């Protein structure tokens, strides 16, 4: 291969689409490293603290797309204190200096300030796409800057961010000359937007294919928008509150009938059940349906709707669909690949909505199922064994039994055998989340059978250090391990320290790891950052020098080339 | 293993058990943990007692339900694992839904306390009937299944549910009453 001119090698590398493949070829020899780095267009940084931003820009000067992830996954569940870190500004600053031809930026779980959005808007003349997922720290003023300055913007996708509302003008900041939008998602914004400006914007952006509105958009406005965007493929509806029989409702039905390309629907925040009839005409074309923000639609109405959706590939619902509803899904949606069932009654004492029966029904009807997130009140080993047999193609399997540490209700046994069956049967499993009563045995099974596992989430499980050691010694492809409230201590942590350099990160909270153990790990492995995160309310009670025997409440370990970070807050100690 | 009480007895026992759960709800409910945070730091949730929890969890053989562990557990931060965004949307939605609803009391002869339902969530009589059956099913087994659903209207008269169009019913219904047994059979010429 080294006899080929560089252009040929580069052309061959063009066929490598995955980051991993490109990373691997760059390690073959210096020549390949050079060709690869100059030709890489899309860079993925899984942990923003693993490498310095400047280093990335220096290595990949031709970069056009950058993806960066910040906080650890458990930050989603409030386990990471608010000011922990994950700032976007250093990345945007470095890109502005080193890669001004940047076109796309994707950030997940990062703190993005208005200042960084303004810098972004002004620094990249070819900027085309901004995707922010689970980020925070910005307001609608930052969005106004993006709308104003990013000529040629194709995509603005805001997913589940916490955005402070500073008024509705931001949308009007898209100039009249802006006609390039293909995807606009502002579903997570709480405030109103200027409806007229929105309608004019979507009318002039003839290539618009994906539009996700926020809850403040009325149904009257939705009807007018749909009339102008008959080629939409994805729609997030907004509140969908209408009087049955009202004129707007009729106009809406009419508009939906014209949207022959609609394949994906979401939103429906305030919809009353009887209004769901308005979408029956589109249901047969739907491949994606997200009703997980619509608690008012109970089982019977959900079922009526789903009976029309026989092409569905991805379905997100609330557990008010009930086991019976899932049975209908199983008999109707033969193409289903991904299912997520969220709990509708997190805080109350409601009736058990879905159980193992629903899951078994789904598994027997939907043989193409490969991704599952299932919140339920109970699960049995027998059910999991059946599911494993029916669906051997799972790549993502996340089961959350709402009551931590709950055993199989039929046999009182832990769920080791059930999960064991899953890992044994699903040879392509990449992501697994465990729940229910579990002993060290389940980890023995995981270590032995889950050869492709990359991410494992453990909560309230295991009996001893052996459990964690089985996983660390067994799962060759493990990248992310997150553990909470499980009896794993220093012996497990220090058993296989080399393993952590092959992984992106390890999170342990409310386990038995001590400060001494963390210090020992940091001392042995200089290329890991061992962060000890103290709860801020505890720090007042804490002594100046806690002893090494002191149990660490939260620990986050990750490999890094950048050394200790300099933006850590007071309550984070980097050993 | 569980003290010699058979499963059938367990059901009867459960029905009369004094607990926090509402009638018709399945195996023991408990106040589920709450975390209420917004993006700004607010008061931190109370910390769980780690050792209590661990000790309780290490006894998997006691009883089919983890009721005793629940009694000792304080609130658990970050459980169930649902994104704050979803939790916050939920609370906002529940608040508006509850504020807007058409809530009426439902009483059933022989039940120790009443329920409340939101008539707006049902599309018609069939759904209402199913929901009421579901809600009061724990009492059905005791006395057989003859019952009639009645309501008190604006004039204070006791009316049989089902005679008038649904919209008219929801706008005039003040409260619901489920009449059981002999009274119900006598009162009805034909069923429903």
Distance CA A512, CA A551 (A): 6
Q: What is the pairing mode between strands A129-133 and B115-118?
A: unpaired
Q: What ipTM does this complex have?
A: 0.86
Residues of A within 8 A of B40 (CB-CB) are: 82
Within 8 A of A537 by CB-CB distance, chain B residues are 44
Q: List CB contacts (< 8 A) between B103 and chain A.
A: none
- Smallest Cβ distance to A79: which of B20, B57, B77? B77
Average pLDDT over residues A2-31: 88
Burial label, A170 (beta-carbon count in 10 A; 0-12, 13-18, 19+): buried
Give B22 to chain A, closest Cα distance, Å. 8
**Token reading at A152:** 């040629």
Task: List the single residue in B with minimal CA-CA distance to A484.
Answer: B78
- What is the model's pLDDT at position B71? 37
A46-62: average pLDDT: 96
Whether A473 and A448 have beta carbons less than 8 Å apart is answered as no
> Distance (Å, rounded) from C-alpha A307 to C-alpha A330?
10
- A220 pLDDT exceeds 70? yes
What pLDDT was estimated at residue B57?
A: 45
Q: Distance between CA atoms of A495 and A5, rounded to whole angstroms?
A: 47
**A254-269: pLDDT as tens digits:** 999 999 999 999 998 8
The per-residue pLDDT for A379 is: 96
> Using one digit for the tens of pLDDT, what is the confidence trace for A125-165?
999 999 999 999 999 999 999 999 999 999 999 999 999 99
Q: Which of A191, A178, A109 is nearest to A150 (CA)?
A: A178
Of chain B residues 118-147, which have a CB less than 8 A from chain A?
Answer: 120-123, 127, 130-131, 134
Contacts of A296 in chain B (CB under 8 A): 97, 121
Element (H, E) at B100: helix B84-100
Please judge whether B87 and A346 are an interchain contact, meaning their C-beta atoms are less than 8 angstroms apart. yes
pLDDT of residue B42: 37
Collapsed DSSP state (helix, strand, coil) of residue A324: helix
A500: pLDDT strictly greater than 60: yes
Question: Could you tell me the domains of chain B?
Answer: 103-184 (3.10.20.90)
Block means of pLDDT (10 residues each) for chain B, 192 residues, are 46 56 48 38 39 43 38 65 85 64 83 85 85 76 69 87 86 87 61 44
Q: Return contacts of B35-40, CB within 8 angstroms, 24+ apart.
A: B35/A77, B35/A78, B35/B75, B35/B77, B35/B78, B35/B87, B37/A78, B37/B84, B38/A162, B38/B88, B39/A82, B39/A136, B39/A162, B40/A82
Q: Is B28 on the interface with A (CB under 8 A)?
A: no
Q: Do B76 and A404 touch (CB under 8 A)?
A: yes
């Amino acid at each position: 291969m080294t006899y080929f001119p560089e252009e040929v090698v580069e052309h061959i590398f063009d066929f490598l689409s995955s980051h991993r493949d490109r990373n691997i070829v760059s390690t073959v020899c210096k020549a390949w490293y050079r060709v690869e780095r100059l030709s890489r267009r899309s860079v993925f940084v899984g942990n923003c603290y693993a490498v310095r931003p400047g280093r990335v820009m220096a290595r990949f000067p031709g970069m056009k797309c950058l993806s960066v992830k910040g906080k650890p996954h458990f930050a989603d569940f409030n386990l990471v204190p608010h000011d922990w870190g994950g700032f976007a500004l250093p990345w945007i600053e470095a890109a502005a200096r080193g890669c001004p031809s940047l076109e796309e930026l994707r950030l997940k779980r990062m703190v993005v300030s208005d200042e960084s959005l303004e810098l972004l808007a002004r620094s990249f003349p070819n900027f085309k796409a901004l995707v922010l997922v689970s980020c925070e720290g910005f307001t609608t003023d930052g969005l106004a800057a993006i709308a104003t300055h990013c000529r040629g913007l194709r995509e603005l996708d805001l997913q589940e961010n916490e955005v402070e509302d500073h008024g509705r003008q931001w949308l009007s900041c898209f100039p009249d000359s802006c006609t390039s939008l293909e995807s606009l998602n502002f579903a997570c914004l709480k405030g109103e937007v200027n409806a007229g400006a929105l309608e004019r914007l979507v009318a002039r952006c003839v290539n618009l294919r994906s539009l996700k509105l926020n809850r403040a958009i009325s149904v009257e406005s939705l009807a007018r928008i749909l009339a102008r965007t008959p080629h939409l493929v994805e729609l997030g509806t907004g509140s969908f509150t209408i009087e049955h029989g009202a004129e707007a409702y009729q106009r809406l039905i009419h508009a939906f009938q014209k949207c022959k390309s609609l394949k994906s629907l979401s939103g429906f925040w305030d919809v009353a059940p009887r209004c769901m009839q308005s979408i029956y005409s589109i249901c047969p074309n739907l491949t994606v349906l997200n009703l997980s923000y619509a608690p008012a639609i109970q089982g019977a109405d959900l079922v009526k709707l789903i009976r029309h959706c026989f092409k569905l590939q991805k379905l997100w619902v609330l557990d008010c669909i009930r086991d019976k509803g899932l049975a209908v899904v199983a008999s109707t949606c033969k193409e289903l690949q991904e299912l997520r069932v969220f709990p509708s009654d997190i805080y109350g004492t409601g009736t058990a909505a879905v159980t193992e029966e629903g899951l078994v029904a789904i598994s027997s009807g939907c043989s193409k199922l490969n991704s599952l997130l299932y919140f339920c009140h109970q699960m049995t080993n027998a059910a999991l064994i059946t599911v494993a047999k029916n669906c051997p193609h799972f790549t993502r399997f996340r089961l959350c039994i709402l009551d931590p540490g709950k055993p199989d209700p039929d046999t009182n046994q832990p769920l080791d055998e059930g999960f064991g069956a899953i890992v044994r049967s699903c040879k392509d499993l990449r992501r697994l989340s465990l729940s229910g009563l579990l002993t060290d045995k389940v980890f023995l099974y995981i270590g032995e059978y889950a050869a492709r596992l990359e991410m494992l989430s453990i909560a309230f499980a295991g009996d001893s250090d052996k459990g964690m050691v089985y996983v660390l010694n067994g799962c060759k492809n493990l990248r992310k391990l997150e553990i909470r409230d499980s009896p794993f201590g220093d012996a497990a942590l220090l058993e296989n320290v080399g393993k952590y350099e092959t992984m992106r990160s390890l999170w342990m909270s409310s386990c038995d790891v001590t400060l001494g153990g963390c210090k020992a790990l940091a001392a042995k492995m200089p290329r890991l950052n061992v962060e000890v995160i103290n709860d801020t309310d505890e720090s007042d009670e804490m002594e100046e020098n806690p002893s090494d025997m002191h149990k660490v409440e939260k620990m986050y370990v990750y490999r890094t080339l950048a050394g200790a970070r300099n933006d850590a807050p007071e309550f984070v100690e980097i050993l | 293993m569980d003290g010699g009480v058979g499963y059938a007895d367990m059901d009867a026992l459960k029905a009369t058990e004094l607990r926090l759960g509402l009638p018709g709800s399945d195996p023991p409910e408990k106040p589920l943990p709450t975390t209420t945070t917004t993006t700004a730091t607010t008061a931190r949730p109370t910390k769980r007692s780690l050792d209590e929890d661990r000790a309780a969890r290490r006894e998997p053989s006691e009883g089919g339900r983890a009721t005793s562990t629940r009694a000792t557990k304080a609130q658990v931060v970050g459980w169930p694992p649902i994104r704050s965004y979803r939790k916050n949307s939920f609370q906002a939605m529940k608040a508006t839904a509850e504020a807007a609803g058409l809530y009426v009391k439902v009483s059933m002869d022989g039940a120790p306390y009443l329920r409340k339902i939101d008539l707006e969530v049902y599309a018609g009589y069939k759904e209402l009937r199913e929901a009421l059956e579901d809600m009061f099913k724990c009492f059905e087994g005791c006395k057989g299944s003859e019952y009639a659903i009645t309501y008190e209207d604006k004039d204070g008269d006791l009316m049989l549910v089902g005679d008038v169009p649904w919209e008219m019913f929801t706008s005039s219904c003040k409260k619901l009453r489920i009449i059981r047994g002999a009274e119900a059979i006598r009162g009805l010429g034909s069923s429903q």
